[in-house]
Amino acid sequence: MRISEGVEWGLHCAVLLAVLPPDAALPTGRLAEYHGVPAAYLAKHLQAMSRAGLLDSVPGPRGGYRLARLAGEISVLDVVEAVDGSTPAFRCTEIRRRGPSAVAAREYRVPCSIHQVMDRADAAWRFELAKTSIADLVAMVAQNASPVALRKGAQWFQEIFG
Protein backbone atom coordinates (compact mmCIF):
# COMPACT_ATOMS: atom_id res chain seq x y z
CA MET A 1 0.00 0.00 0.00
CA ARG A 2 1.29 3.37 -0.90
CA ILE A 3 0.00 6.92 -0.98
CA SER A 4 0.69 9.00 -4.07
CA GLU A 5 3.56 11.42 -3.70
CA GLY A 6 1.29 14.13 -5.06
CA VAL A 7 -0.65 14.12 -1.81
CA GLU A 8 2.36 15.49 0.02
CA TRP A 9 2.82 18.19 -2.60
CA GLY A 10 -0.85 19.10 -2.54
CA LEU A 11 -0.85 19.51 1.21
CA HIS A 12 2.27 21.67 1.22
CA CYS A 13 0.79 23.83 -1.52
CA ALA A 14 -2.46 24.18 0.39
CA VAL A 15 -0.52 25.38 3.44
CA LEU A 16 1.35 27.91 1.35
CA LEU A 17 -1.82 29.16 -0.32
CA ALA A 18 -3.44 29.53 3.10
CA VAL A 19 -0.98 32.26 4.10
CA LEU A 20 -1.40 34.14 0.86
CA PRO A 21 -2.55 37.79 0.95
CA PRO A 22 -6.32 38.00 0.37
CA ASP A 23 -7.39 37.97 -3.29
CA ALA A 24 -3.91 37.01 -4.39
CA ALA A 25 -3.07 33.88 -6.38
CA LEU A 26 0.06 31.82 -6.90
CA PRO A 27 0.75 30.10 -10.24
CA THR A 28 1.99 26.55 -10.63
CA GLY A 29 5.51 27.69 -11.47
CA ARG A 30 5.87 29.63 -8.24
CA LEU A 31 4.47 26.81 -6.12
CA ALA A 32 6.86 24.37 -7.77
CA GLU A 33 9.79 26.73 -7.30
CA TYR A 34 9.04 27.15 -3.61
CA HIS A 35 8.86 23.41 -2.98
CA GLY A 36 11.61 22.36 -5.37
CA VAL A 37 9.46 20.00 -7.41
CA PRO A 38 8.82 19.66 -11.18
CA ALA A 39 6.18 22.19 -12.19
CA ALA A 40 4.67 20.13 -15.00
CA TYR A 41 3.78 17.27 -12.69
CA LEU A 42 2.66 19.46 -9.82
CA ALA A 43 0.20 21.04 -12.25
CA LYS A 44 -1.59 17.73 -12.58
CA HIS A 45 -2.32 17.57 -8.87
CA LEU A 46 -3.32 21.21 -8.60
CA GLN A 47 -5.82 20.61 -11.39
CA ALA A 48 -7.24 17.69 -9.44
CA MET A 49 -7.64 19.88 -6.37
CA SER A 50 -9.28 22.53 -8.50
CA ARG A 51 -11.69 19.99 -9.95
CA ALA A 52 -12.55 18.87 -6.44
CA GLY A 53 -13.52 22.41 -5.53
CA LEU A 54 -10.67 22.98 -3.09
CA LEU A 55 -8.85 25.56 -5.20
CA ASP A 56 -10.03 28.37 -7.42
CA SER A 57 -8.04 28.90 -10.59
CA VAL A 58 -7.42 32.37 -11.97
CA PRO A 59 -6.35 32.47 -15.62
CA GLY A 60 -4.17 35.01 -17.34
CA PRO A 61 -1.27 37.11 -16.05
CA ARG A 62 -1.21 37.62 -12.28
CA GLY A 63 -3.36 34.50 -12.14
CA GLY A 64 -2.76 31.13 -10.51
CA TYR A 65 -4.42 29.21 -7.72
CA ARG A 66 -5.93 30.24 -4.42
CA LEU A 67 -7.97 28.43 -1.78
CA ALA A 68 -11.63 28.15 -2.70
CA ARG A 69 -12.69 28.12 0.97
CA LEU A 70 -11.33 29.29 4.28
CA ALA A 71 -8.33 27.26 5.40
CA GLY A 72 -10.32 26.12 8.41
CA GLU A 73 -12.97 24.68 6.12
CA ILE A 74 -10.61 22.43 4.15
CA SER A 75 -9.56 19.21 5.83
CA VAL A 76 -6.48 17.15 5.16
CA LEU A 77 -8.81 14.38 4.05
CA ASP A 78 -10.26 16.66 1.40
CA VAL A 79 -6.83 17.12 -0.14
CA VAL A 80 -5.94 13.44 0.11
CA GLU A 81 -9.16 12.39 -1.61
CA ALA A 82 -8.85 15.08 -4.27
CA VAL A 83 -5.35 14.01 -5.27
CA ASP A 84 -5.35 10.30 -4.56
CA GLY A 85 -8.98 9.47 -5.25
CA SER A 86 -11.71 8.63 -2.80
CA THR A 87 -12.04 4.92 -3.44
CA PRO A 88 -11.39 2.89 -0.27
CA ALA A 89 -7.95 1.33 -0.02
CA PHE A 90 -9.44 -2.12 0.46
CA ARG A 91 -11.80 -3.53 -2.11
CA CYS A 92 -13.63 -6.72 -1.34
CA THR A 93 -13.78 -9.01 -4.35
CA GLU A 94 -16.33 -11.26 -2.63
CA ILE A 95 -14.26 -14.37 -2.93
CA ARG A 96 -16.52 -15.97 -0.36
CA ARG A 97 -19.03 -16.37 -3.18
CA ARG A 98 -16.65 -18.52 -5.17
CA GLY A 99 -15.46 -22.05 -4.68
CA PRO A 100 -17.20 -25.06 -3.14
CA SER A 101 -18.92 -23.21 -0.29
CA ALA A 102 -20.68 -20.72 -2.55
CA VAL A 103 -24.43 -20.41 -2.14
CA ALA A 104 -27.20 -18.37 -3.73
CA ALA A 105 -26.59 -14.63 -3.90
CA ARG A 106 -29.53 -13.78 -1.65
CA GLU A 107 -27.89 -15.72 1.18
CA TYR A 108 -25.20 -13.02 1.52
CA ARG A 109 -27.14 -10.45 3.48
CA VAL A 110 -24.40 -9.00 5.69
CA PRO A 111 -21.06 -7.81 4.27
CA CYS A 112 -18.06 -10.11 4.40
CA SER A 113 -16.52 -10.08 7.89
CA ILE A 114 -13.08 -9.23 6.55
CA HIS A 115 -14.61 -6.41 4.58
CA GLN A 116 -16.19 -5.07 7.75
CA VAL A 117 -12.91 -5.01 9.65
CA MET A 118 -11.02 -3.34 6.81
CA ASP A 119 -13.75 -0.74 6.43
CA ARG A 120 -13.64 0.04 10.12
CA ALA A 121 -9.91 0.67 9.91
CA ASP A 122 -10.38 2.79 6.81
CA ALA A 123 -13.00 4.87 8.62
CA ALA A 124 -10.61 5.42 11.55
CA TRP A 125 -7.94 6.57 9.13
CA ARG A 126 -10.28 9.00 7.38
CA PHE A 127 -11.62 10.26 10.68
CA GLU A 128 -8.13 11.21 11.82
CA LEU A 129 -7.45 13.04 8.56
CA ALA A 130 -10.79 14.83 8.67
CA LYS A 131 -10.05 16.14 12.16
CA THR A 132 -7.19 18.31 10.93
CA SER A 133 -7.74 21.32 8.70
CA ILE A 134 -5.30 23.26 6.57
CA ALA A 135 -5.59 26.06 9.15
CA ASP A 136 -4.44 23.61 11.82
CA LEU A 137 -1.46 22.72 9.67
CA VAL A 138 -0.60 26.39 9.29
CA ALA A 139 -0.69 26.78 13.06
CA MET A 140 1.49 23.72 13.54
CA VAL A 141 4.05 24.96 11.04
CA ALA A 142 4.07 28.43 12.61
CA GLN A 143 4.77 26.89 15.98
CA ASN A 144 7.19 24.14 15.02
CA ALA A 145 9.19 25.43 12.08
CA SER A 146 12.54 27.09 12.52
CA PRO A 147 12.26 30.91 12.83
CA VAL A 148 14.96 31.22 10.24
CA ALA A 149 12.99 29.19 7.72
CA LEU A 150 9.85 31.20 8.43
CA ARG A 151 11.72 34.44 7.81
CA LYS A 152 13.15 33.15 4.55
CA GLY A 153 9.66 32.18 3.48
CA ALA A 154 8.31 35.61 4.33
CA GLN A 155 11.16 37.17 2.38
CA TRP A 156 10.29 35.06 -0.65
CA PHE A 157 6.72 36.33 -0.46
CA GLN A 158 7.99 39.89 -0.18
CA GLU A 159 9.97 39.55 -3.38
CA ILE A 160 6.89 38.40 -5.26
CA PHE A 161 4.16 40.65 -3.99
CA GLY A 162 6.32 43.62 -3.11
Which of 34, 47 has the CB closer to a second copy? 34
Which is nearest to 18 in space by CA: 139, 110, 132, 127?
139
Stretch touching a second copy by CB under 8 A, among 21-29, 44-52, 63-71, 101-109? 101-109
CB of 63 to DNA, least distance (A): 4
For position 36 contacting a second copy by CB under 8 A, the verdict is yes
The β-bridge relationship of strands 64-67 and 55-58 is antiparallel
- Total residues binding a second copy (CB under 8 A): 64
Which of 27, 79 has the CB closer to DNA? 27
CB of 109 to DNA, least distance (A): 28
Which of 51, 116 has the CB closer to a second copy? 116
For position 43 contacting a second copy by CB under 8 A, the verdict is no
Which of 53, 72 has the CB closer to DNA? 53
Q: Give the other-Cβ count within 10 Å of 75's Cβ.
A: 19
Stretch touching DNA by CB under 7 A, among 1-9, 72-80, 100-108, 136-144? 1-9
